[in-house]
Amino acid sequence: MLALPDLQKAFAGYLSGGDGVDLARIVRGDSISAAARLRIHRHHVQQSLATALAATFPTVHTLVGEAFFGAMAGSFVVKDLPTQPVLAEYGAAFPDFVDGYAPARDLPYLPDMARLDWALNVAFHSPDGPRLAAADLDSIAPDRLLGLALDLTPGSALVPSAFPIDRIWQASQPGANGSQVDLAAAGASLLVGRRSDDAAFVALDAAEAAFVTAILGRATLEAAAQAAFAVEPAFDLSTSFGRLLALQAFAALR
Amino acid sequence: MDPVAGIGLRSPHLAEIAREKPATGFLEIHAENYLAGSPARQTIEHLRRDYEFSVHAVGLSLGSAEGLDEKHLDRVAGLIERLEPQLVSDHLSWSVAGGRYFNDLLPLPYTEESLAVVVRNVQRLQERLGRRVSIENPSCYLAFEHSILSEPEFLAEVARRSGCGLLLDANNIFVTAHNLRLDPADWLAPLPADAITEYHLAGHAVNYADGERVLIDDHGSHVSDAVLDLFGEIVRRYGKRPTLVEWDTDIPALDVLLDEARRAERVLMAGRADARAA
């Protein structure tokens, strides 16, 4: 017999890929062996966590299909079990795992699709809160405004990619028209954020992406604009800033 | 809560329930699905005005020898403060060891040592929440050689020592009895009627291990007639309690689930209002 802490340690080892020999010795076997009974638990752990990952990475799941996804998720689960019980918060390391997953090498955009799925998941599970409107800035003098920093809404993230991940995402949605995506088309930088009852993304051009990256890095509006000008001298701050304001991308002035 | 039948609230039905507000006894949620600030969390907070709620946790890991995860406990406590549900529950099982979460209701050996661990964890949970919680019998696929108590004896003793309630899952009793070759009637005998606060019902699947039939608690089908018969026996023996129908895989249309709850309610209403243990 094992003391409970040792039993749980042995069980955890078995569920993480161990052989479970020590554990099988203390499990009652009859016409169903101890090993077969233990396998029911191991199967459930892998299956249920792969299902949770499929819910968190729906685009990846659609793109590769159930069988491929199940195998890929199963390999990830054994290496990287959750550290807490909220399954919507499980899978932060999955995009990098997909990046290194040899059988997926022929789908070079897949890691970025996983990053997009993860960003949408994080945004969806972020609290809704106040959003900055253009009217909130009316009373601030333009030169003072440039010296201020802004917060994007909680859960916002920029997902840059060398692939047209916005079009790949759209083509993999239920009810998509089945048109082909040209993978050689220009890449996309997507700003992902929480909407009132959903999470969504908008495509940014290269200068806007530089601007948002600087804002996420807590730069002032002026410094963020300079970062954008460095990418594209024709960057129009008032147009791009106005567009982001209209999208309700900002939570507040800092 | 009135001894009526309710449904497990699952995300595919959330929008329809918020829109249509169908009649049902109560809604039960899995705590772990509503701890973040998602739109779903806002929706259930709105639904709380129209429905009685039960909060069923699946990840507190009350059987963990290393004790409860206080961070997770704080999050669950925050949800419960917000919703003020009628019932709060989790399982007689463990799912966390060494900082890893296995997303399974893993079995405990029924020993004095396990009893001390579970009672300590249940007491900590009740102290943190400032209220009584109920512990559910899990579906079992294996038993440990060194168990010295039966599962119902163990549950009865946890309830006696900690003051917690018991949530009886009729499907889990059926599944466990089949898989461990027990008689469901024997299983029921040692339970204290006063501690029982709620019943659960769900469907199970049939699988095979070493060529033998194994029942899997997958919550993926109608409640079987055999489980409903066992439920009738439980109601006759212990009386009416709030009763939940759960459906978690191959989730059907909401109407199917609501019908299933009405089916359970008919069995419930045929039972005695205030039956005591024989």
CA distance B189 to B277: 8
Which residue blocks in B130-253 are alpha helix, DSSP H? 151-162, 170-179, 184-188, 225-238
Task: Tell me how close the Cα of B8 comes to any Cα of chain A, in angstroms.
Answer: 18
- Is B23 touching A (CB cutoff 8 A)? no
* pLDDT at site A203: 97
In angstroms, the CA A240 to CA A142 distance is 15
Q: Give residue B19's pLDDT band: very low, low, confident or very high (50, 70, 90).
A: very high
The mean pLDDT of B106-121, rounded to a whole number, is: 98
pLDDT (tens digit per residue) in A16-63: 999 999 999 999 999 999 999 999 999 999 999 999 999 999 999 999
| Of residues A210, A217, A123, A201, the one with CA closest to residue A165 | A201
CB A84 to CB B106 under 8 A?
no
C-alpha B141/C-alpha B178 separation (Å) is 9
Buried b (16+ CB within 10 A) or exposed e, B130-141: eebbbbbbbbbb
**Mean pLDDT in residue range B37-47:** 93
Q: Between these two residues, B274 and A224, which has the higher pLDDT value?
A: A224
Chain A residues closer than 8 Å to B144 by CB: 7, 26-28
Query: From the list B37, B60, B179, which residue is nearest A125 (CB)?
Result: B37
Asked if residues A111 and A98 have their Cβ atoms less than 8 Å apart, the reply is yes
Instruction: State pLDDT tens for residues B183-192.
Output: 999 999 989 9
Contacts of A198 in chain B (CB under 8 A): 39
Question: What pLDDT digit, counting tens, does each position of B252-269 carry?
Answer: 999 999 999 999 999 999
Residues in chain A predicted with pLDDT less than 70, given as ranges, are: none
Interface touch B114/A87, C-beta < 8 Å? no
- Closest alpha carbon within chain A to B112: A4
Query: Are B100 and A12 inside 8 Å of each other by CB?
Result: yes
What is the spatial distance between Cα B196 and Cα A209, in angstroms, rounded to a whole number? Answer: 58
Query: Which residue in B37, B141, B181 is closest to A127 by CB distance?
Result: B37
**Interatomic CA distance for residues B165 and A94, integer angstroms:** 40
Query: How far apart, in whole angstroms, are the C-alpha atoms of residue B117 and residue B25?
Result: 34
Quickly tell me which residue has 């259930």 as its tokens: B44
DSSP assignment, residue B259? H
Yes or no, beta carbons of A89 and B117 under 8 Å apart: no
- Structural domain spans, chain A: 1-107, 128-254
List B residues 208-237 in contact with A (Cβ-Cβ < 8 A): 209-210, 212, 214, 216
Pairing mode, if any, of strands B243-246 and B5-8?
parallel
Q: pLDDT band at residue B274, thresholds of 50, 70 and 90?
A: very low
Confirm or reject contact between B71 and chain A (CB < 8 A).
yes
Closest residue in A to B35 (Cα) is A86
Instruction: Determine the distance in angstroms separating the CA of A56 from the nearest CA of chain B, rounded to an integer.
Output: 13
CA A89/CA A106 separation, integer angstroms: 28
For the cut 50, the answer to whether the pLDDT of residue B275 exceeds it is no
Q: Do A48 and B104 touch (CB under 8 A)?
A: yes
Residues 6 or more apart whose CB falls under 8 angstroms from that of A5 comprise: B65, B66
**Ramachandran assignment for A218, one of left (phi > 0), alpha (psi -120 to 50 degrees), beta (any other):** left
Partner-chain residue, chosen from A27, A32, A197, that has the shortest CB–CB distance to B210: A32
Best residue in B101, B114, B182 for a mutation probing chain A (most A CBs within 10 Å): B101
Q: What CATH number matches the domain at B5-270, 3.20.20.150, 3.30.300.30, 3.40.50.2030, 3.20.20.70?
A: 3.20.20.150
Asked if A88 and B33 touch (Cβ cutoff 8 Å), the reply is yes
Q: Is it the case that residue B272 has pLDDT exceeding 80?
A: no
Are the C-beta atoms of B179 and B217 separated by less than 8 Å?
no
Residue entry with tokens 């916005």? A166
Q: Which pLDDT belongs to residue A254?
A: 83
Fold entry, domain A128-254:
Outer Surface Protein A; domain 3 (3.90.930)
Alpha carbon distance B186, B148 (integer Å) = 16
Asked whether the beta carbons of residue A88 and residue B38 sit closer than 8 angstroms, the reply is yes
Contacts B72 to A, Cβ<8 Å: 84-86
Residue in chain B nearest A52 by alpha carbon: B103
Residue of B32, B90, B142 to mutate for A, most A C-beta atoms under 10 A = B142
> What is the rounded CA–CA span in Å between residue A92 and residue A97?
10
- Distance, in Å, from the CA atom of B140 to the CA atom of A27, rounded to the nearest integer, reads 12
Are residues B104 and A45, on separate chains, in Cβ contact within 8 Å?
Answer: yes
Delimit the domains of chain B by residue range. Answer: 5-270
The reported pLDDT for the residue numbered A44 is 97
Q: How many Å apart are CA A126 and CA B39, to the nearest integer?
A: 9
For residue B270, the one-letter residue type is A
- Minimum Cα–Cα distance from B102: chain A residue: A45
Of B167, B239, B192, B240, nearest to B8 by C-alpha is: B167
pLDDT reported for residue A177: 79
**Using 50, 70 and 90 to split pLDDT, how confident is the model at B278?**
very low
Residues of B in contact with A32 (CB under 8 A): 179, 209-210, 212, 214
* Strands across the sheet containing A198-204: A157-161, A188-195, A198-204
Which of the 8 DSSP states describes residue B116?
H
Interface contacts (A, B; CB < 8 Å): 134
